[in-house]
Structure 1
Amino acid sequence: MNIDLTGRLALVTGGSGQLGRVMCRTLAACGADVAVHYHRNAAQAAALVAELRALGVRAHAVQADVTDEASVLAMQRDVHAALGDPDIIVNNAVIQYTWTTVLEQPLADFDSQYRSTVLHGVLMARAFVPAMITRGGGRVITINTECAMQTAPTQGAYAAGKRGLDGIMRVLAREIGPHSITVNQVAPGWMISEDHPADDSDAQAAYARGVPLRRRGTDQDVANLVTFLASDLAAFISGQFISVSGGNVMPTI
């Protein structure tokens, strides 16, 4: 079976980032037109758009602050004018910060994680799902993390935001499922990426020893699952939290 997304439009938030770039390329390689969201890195987004267009698909870069309602609505209008209404949205962007203990983490970090995960997901749904309802179908795919299950020391703000994200996505799946719109979460582990290549550090070796497959995965592994969930092959999969961690975390019944 081949994944064919020809005629579909995908919007990837954080599309200019390390994981976002691979997802955009993979979706485009399967024929999807792609709206590449960026927050600050306009040059990176423009370069990626040129790369995607060279694959023969339509592509457009769009700037927005995904934690701000007016900005997300402006992004919706921009994408609609340039490419149309997305069939697929991938909520990938998140604010990065320095991890430390709950007792030491600045309160602003807890707020930033809530805004860039939970509120991000809500604003994207409000901006883009109504058009999916009108068409009678669509895909909402959200990037979560294995940390939501690990809840390890220093993960407090990140895990709190991502666990809240899990709750809102499960509710959304139930609410919009009757319109043939699937809602799923992809939860990567500590992946090898363009900006974070593999090395021989003790930290990476220790992490790999704890993974049943005894290695770290890649950002391409994440993009592959996102693309599958965006396709017709996943038409009856919804409300799921799917780990891409080599078995490092295992969601249970």
Structure 2
Amino acid sequence: MRTHPIDPVHGAMVLITGGARGMGELYARRAIAGGARAIALWDIDADAAEALATDLSRSGITVLAYAVDMGDLDSIRSTYAATARDLGDPDIIVNNAGVVRGAAFWDHDPVRDIENTLRINTLGAMWLTREALPAMMTDATRLKRILNIASAAGTLANPRMSVYAASKWAMIGWSESLRIELEQAGHRHIAVTTFCPSFVSTGMFAGARGPLWTPILSPREATAAAWNGMRRGTPMVLRPWTVKLGMAARGILPTRVWDAVAGPIFKVYRSMDHFTGRT
């Protein structure tokens, strides 16, 4: 017999990484609109997170900010312990924190760019989820959700974003495997959703140009698609529709044929040529 409410957001404790601004802020506002019980904003920018928490708390919902380094396991563990003590264990996790370096692979610094990107974009999400899963698996009284923000870059190779793409390919593989493991183990009250958007106009990818027929998504469009997919428990959400088209074309065409069309025709291989976004 189902004992948990059908809506996973209403009454939930929602934990959002990279929650101080941009899409993180929009996820928090959607949690408030959905009737969440409490929200934890995790971000490395403590001042910005505190300011947003103060603003959002005017809604009457408890919103607390936590300074955390998503590239550091000890920081995640200690911050999780503080969050659980203050607000309880999360019912919904939004693994949103991420960084990008748009450059040829050989121009990436081994530690500042390569290691840091993989730690924040991939390992941080894994470490946080590993902290939260025991409580999520034990409590089957309500629906639980894990929303992992990946990228279309994790579905197709793309020059000038090799390390970022690698971090998102890893995110997709882990996220999908975790989803299946939870289902096979009988924890069907927990759903894992992987969101793979093309470029989003947050400033992170300023200067990047979408491939053929691929518009730059607004943050509101992107968060709406991801959030709605998470609520439904949709395994993968890809936006816009050309992301799925690109995956299908790459899977069907021989590699050299794909190379021949991905650059001059679809413009996939040229999308980062004018990148000036945040690192």
Report if TM-score (shorter chain) is over 0.5. Answer: yes
Q: Does 1:51 align with 2:55?
A: yes
Specify every segment of 5 or more residues in structure 1 that has no aligned partner in the other structure, as ranges. none
Shift of 1:197: 11
2:106 to 92, 103, 106: 103
- 2:156 alignment partner AA: Q
- 2:241 alignment partner AA: G
Shift of 1:54: 1.6
Instruction: Say if 1:125 and 1:221 are closer, same or farther in 2 by CA, change over 3 A.
Output: same
- 2:110 alignment partner AA: L
Cα distance in 2 for partners of 1:71, 1:151 equals 32
Instruction: Say if 1:114 and 1:219 are closer, same or farther in 2 by CA, change over 3 A.
Output: same
8 Å contact kept, 1:23–1:226: no
User: Equivalent residues in 2 for 1:60-139 (5 A)?
Assistant: 60-97=64-101, 99-108=102-111, 109-136=113-140, 137-139=143-145
Shift of 1:148: 1.6
8 Å contact kept, 2:8–2:145: no
1:166 to 159, 162, 172: 172
| 1:179 alignment partner in structure 2 | 187
Cα distance in 1 for partners of 2:58, 2:213 equals 37
Tell me how large the CA RMSD over aligned residues is.
Answer: 2.4
- 1:225 alignment partner AA: A
Cα distance in 2 for partners of 1:139, 1:70 equals 24
- 1:249 alignment partner AA: V
Shift of 1:95: 3.1
2:40 to 19, 35, 42: 35
Specify every segment of 5 or more residues in structure 2 that has no aligned partner in the other structure, as ranges. 1-5, 252-279
TM-score between both structures, scaled by the size of structure 1: 0.83
| 2:218 alignment partner in structure 1 | 218
Q: Does 1:249 align with 2:243?
A: yes
| 2:12 alignment partner in structure 1 | 8
Secondary structure of the residue that 1:76 maps to in structure 2? helix
How many residues in Structure 1 have an aligned counterpart in Structure 2?
Answer: 235
Shift of 1:7: 0.5
Decide which structure has the larger Cα Rg and report it.
Answer: 2
Consecutive aligned runs of 4 or more in structure 1 exceeding 6 Å deviation: none
Shift of 1:172: 1.1
Shift of 1:58: 1.4
Cα distance in 2 for partners of 1:196, 1:68 equals 22
- 1:154 alignment partner AA: R
Cα distance in 1 for partners of 2:213, 2:18 equals 27
Shift of 1:49: 0.9
TM-score between both structures, scaled by the size of structure 2: 0.76
| 1:227 alignment partner in structure 2 | 227
Cα distance in 2 for partners of 1:86, 1:172 equals 17
Secondary structure of the residue that 1:61 maps to in structure 2? strand
Cα distance in 2 for partners of 1:37, 1:72 equals 10
Shift of 1:31: 1.3
Shift of 1:107: 2.3
Cα distance in 2 for partners of 1:197, 1:92 equals 15
2:151 to 145, 169, 173: 145
8 Å contact kept, 1:29–1:55: no
